[in-house]
Amino acid sequence: MIRRLMLCLTLILALSLLRVQASAAQAPPEEGTSVAVLPAPTAHWVFLYNLTALSSFAPSTVVILDGDSQKILGMLAGGLGSSFAIAPDHSAFYMADTFFSRGSRGERTDVLTIYDGKTLNPAGEVVLPSGRQLTAQDNATIGVTPDGKLLLVANMTPATSATVVDIANKTVLGKIEMSGCVEVLVTGNRQFVSLCGDGSMLTTDFDDGGKATSQKRTAAPFFNPDTDPVYALPGIIGQTAYFLSYGGKIYPVDLSTDPATPGTPWALLSADEAAKKWKPGGIQALAVHQKKGLLYVLMHQGGEWTHKLPGVDVWVYDVKTQKRVKQLKLESMADAIMATQDDQPLLIAAMPFNPPAPGNVHVYSAIDGKQRGALNDLVVAPFEHIYGW
């Protein structure tokens, strides 16, 4: 009986082994994992830049969102206080980063990383001279020329300058000094403008070799930095930059001249609204729609120096009439807004901290203010900026 049982077990094991061998012979060969590719871009893609606190030494990130579906398409992770820019033809993304060899200490390395616009894989990098501007970033701390050939990175050591990078050859061409002026708002293939500490603006022309050929300031300051400072990043419509002030004024500057020419400032607020302490506020308080000629301003009620407070009101102004044309009410507090540039634009509003949740991004129609959707528990950094194409 035992011998029969052992024979049966042996036969079962033999048949099992044959089945395994047959399956192995028929199994398809293993293949490497394919690289995901982003879908074709639309006008409603949104780039949410998160700058973590400098004291945390955590990497900055850029999250790519589809404004229509409110889905995350991809993410870039950089270094400390990264700067972000998009190639004019959308073929690449750029991040200027700072790293320390021991995390929060050690040897500092500043580097520009070039990412493929479809796979988000690193496609190259350029080591930068030390001194890249480490502040709450916006898209005037880095800029790509319209022809896509050169890139500028703002420096602060504390002396201010701009590093010029040849993108194709991945080399640093040189450094342009801009004493007393900060940031690099690109206005032409070989031109950028910078805000200066006295309220004036510097226009810098440079050559293909990265050397300044001309630097001219406005004839006089166009705003008073002591009594009514402006947000560093303007809204640009056509060839005019519209600077928003903490007190609720618009300072237009014509960028088509060399140097730039300031226009006549105008007030966003009536006397009654000013008396009720309405003011612009937020990290990114101004958005524009270029084709429609509209300014979107994030508003709140507060006292002096409350220009960083969030709000739920967005007031919309026509730059031709200099009049408010509508008021939009947000569903949730926001301290950054951005409008897409198509005929059916979206208004994107972000809030980094929205207790008890870490933060959120809300999507609205920029035409009637109706909410289209939201992403919660997404924004976790204390500073963020929203970019579009």
DSSP track, 9-67? HHHHHHHHHHHHHHHHHHSPPP-PPPPP-PPPP-TTEEEEEEE--TTTTPPPEEEEEET
**Whole-prediction pTM value?**
0.88
Buried b (16+ CB within 10 A) or exposed e, 216-255: ebbeeebbeeeeebbbbbbbebeebbbbbbbbbbbbbbeb
22-31, 36-45, 166-175: which has the minimum mean pLDDT?
Answer: 22-31
Write the pLDDT tens digit of every residue in 28-52: 555 556 778 999 999 999 999 886 5
The CATH architecture assigned to 78-222 reads 7 Propeller (2.130)
Write the pLDDT tens digit of every residue in 55-82: 556 678 899 999 999 999 999 998 888 8
pLDDT confidence of residue 5: 42
> Domain-by-domain residue ranges, the chain?
78-222
**Average pLDDT of the chain to the nearest whole number:** 88
pLDDT confidence of residue 26: 54
